[in-house]
Structure 1
Amino acid sequence: MNRTARLYWLVEELRAAAPRPVTVAVLAARCEVSTRTVQRDLQALMEAGVPVRTATGRGGGWSIDAAMTLPPIRFTADEASALTVALAAADATAPHAGAARRAAQKLAASMSGPASAAAGVLATRIVTLPSPANPTVRAAVEQALAANAVLRLSYADAAGRASSRVVEPAGLLGAGGRWYLIAWCRTRQAGRGFRLDRIAEAVLTAEQAEPRDLGALLIGSVAAEAARPPALTPLIPPSSDA
């Protein structure tokens, strides 16, 4: 069993036993490798952000929070390499860029041999330009969308005119290498797009936003024909609008 397969196997074993801990000795015997190898692999999973933990003493061992993980997905070498590079190259202004980088680190930690080498070659061929976007602003926007919360924005338009807005987020639009928060603007009493790199400050409030339909807010705008990326289609419930 190579290292990639072994890391997947370890997660599967810990998930199957959860919430009971499993000792390194038991895992090593089942996998037919040394306890040192298993200990090193478990440490690598922990450093990659997989929610594994260890408890010492009688009845101790390694365990995993099954509620915080997904069942292992077996990628081909090409798929793992492509995903690793694509995630690692995510623009810092893109939604959930931090989570994308962490996912890339987990994939990279699980790869070895040809897959790891292929990912390394692809990585040398991709570069990105630095972005002026404020990571604090992006994080607040992400949290507001996830929690359906009202945001208070300090915003500058294309002419540099500053204003304060209270908005109800509806979604995110990517266009021309830029990201826009599409929201209902209480100040203008209409749907508006706010370019993320023009938001000087975004404050998350405790107020719940009125549910807003992203497609409805885009009607009549230059983004009226915007479509969801094909890769997201499997995640959208059948009852959701396309």
Structure 2
Amino acid sequence: MNRTPRLYALVEELRAAAPRSLTVAALAARFEVSTRTVQRDLQALMEAGAPVRFTTGRGGGWSIDPAMTLPPIRFTAEEAAALVAALAVADASALYAGAVRTASRKIAASMTGPASTAARQLAARIVALPTRTVESVRTAVEQALTDSTVLRLSYVDAAGQESDRAVEPAGLLTADGKWYLIAWCRTRQAGRGFRLDRITAAAPTGEQARPHDLADLLLGSAAASAVQPTALASLTDSAPAS
């Protein structure tokens, strides 16, 4: 068994034993590998974000929270290829790129058979020229969107004019491969779109932002006809009522 299927199998072995713990020795015997190999695999799972943990003492060992892991997922080869293509869009400069990388590792570990083969073959044939977004800017925008807090921006518009703004984030717009932060601009007292690769600096303020409706801020703009991507509909349709 090569490493990727073994990582997937390790997760399933820990899920099956939960809430009990399993020792490294027991896992090594189960997969017919050395304890050092199992230890490396468990460390790799932790770094990928899998909720595995180690407890010491009598009855201790490695365990996993089954409520926080993916069950077996049976992708078709076509579905696996579609996922690879979608993940390729989230390059190193895109929003939530770090989270995308850890999520993709979890998905890859859950794939077996033809789906796994199709995903690996297509992944080896995709390259990208990432757009330029400063890491600190990307992180600040992500945090402001997640926490609904006011963000202070330094922004260069299409004419090359730089300005400083305090903005209240409302959402994201994607168009022609570009990402825009849609927000209420306190300077202009109106909704504005800020292209991420034109934000030269972004600083969180910690101030709670007022809620703004994304569609309302887009009214009267070139993006007024923007609609929710169909691939996200199943997520929002299943969201719990607030």
- Output the TM-score relative to the length of structure 1: 0.82
Indicate yes or no: 2:235 matched with 1:235: yes
**1:15: Cα distance to partner?**
4.7
Native 8 Å contact 1:179 1:196 kept in 2: yes
Distance (Å, rounded) in 1 between the aligned partners of 2:127 and 2:9: 34
Percent of matched pairs sharing the same residue: 65
Cα deviation, 1:81-136, whole Å, max 9, x if unaligned, reads: 44245324423343212211222233334546644432232123322223122121
RMSD: 3.1
Aligned residue in 1 for 2:108: 108
The answer to which of 51-60 and 183-192 deviates more is 51-60
Q: For 2:163, what is the secondary structure of its paired residue? A: strand
Q: For 1:72, what is the secondary structure of its paired residue? A: coil
Aligned residue in 2 for 1:224: 224
Indicate yes or no: 2:208 matched with 1:205: no
C-alpha spacing 1:5/1:117, structure 2 compared with 1 (3 Å) = closer
Which consecutive residues of structure 2, in runs of 5 or more, have no partner in the other structure?
none
Native 8 Å contact 2:93 2:133 kept in 1: yes
The answer to which of 130-139 and 171-180 deviates more is 130-139
Alignment of 1:1-242 (within 5 A): 7-8=7-8, 10-12=10-12, 14-15=14-15, 20-24=20-24, 33-34=31-32, 36=34, 39=38, 41-65=41-65, 69-78=68-77, 79-111=79-111, 114-237=114-237
**1:22: Cα distance to partner?**
3.0
Q: In the alignment, residue 187 of structure 1 is paired with which amino acid?
A: T
Distance (Å, rounded) in 1 between the aligned partners of 2:93 and 2:31: 43
C-alpha spacing 1:20/1:218, structure 2 compared with 1 (3 Å) = same
**1:57: Cα distance to partner?**
3.8
Distance (Å, rounded) in 2 between the aligned partners of 1:53 and 1:108: 21
The answer to which of 186-195 and 90-99 deviates more is 90-99
Distance (Å, rounded) in 1 between the aligned partners of 2:34 and 2:190: 61
Which consecutive residues of structure 1, in runs of 5 or more, have no partner in the other structure?
none
Native 8 Å contact 2:74 2:111 kept in 1: no
**1:178: Cα distance to partner?**
0.9
Distance (Å, rounded) in 2 between the aligned partners of 1:53 and 1:230: 37
C-alpha spacing 1:127/1:71, structure 2 compared with 1 (3 Å) = closer
Native 8 Å contact 2:7 2:109 kept in 1: no
**1:71: Cα distance to partner?**
3.7
C-alpha spacing 1:75/1:7, structure 2 compared with 1 (3 Å) = farther
- Output the TM-score relative to the length of structure 2: 0.82
C-alpha spacing 1:33/1:92, structure 2 compared with 1 (3 Å) = closer
Distance (Å, rounded) in 2 between the aligned partners of 1:33 and 1:133: 43
Native 8 Å contact 1:85 1:119 kept in 2: no
Native 8 Å contact 2:88 2:126 kept in 1: no
Distance (Å, rounded) in 1 between the aligned partners of 2:12 and 2:110: 14
Distance (Å, rounded) in 2 between the aligned partners of 1:136 and 1:47: 22
Distance (Å, rounded) in 1 between the aligned partners of 2:34 and 2:110: 17
**1:10: Cα distance to partner?**
4.2
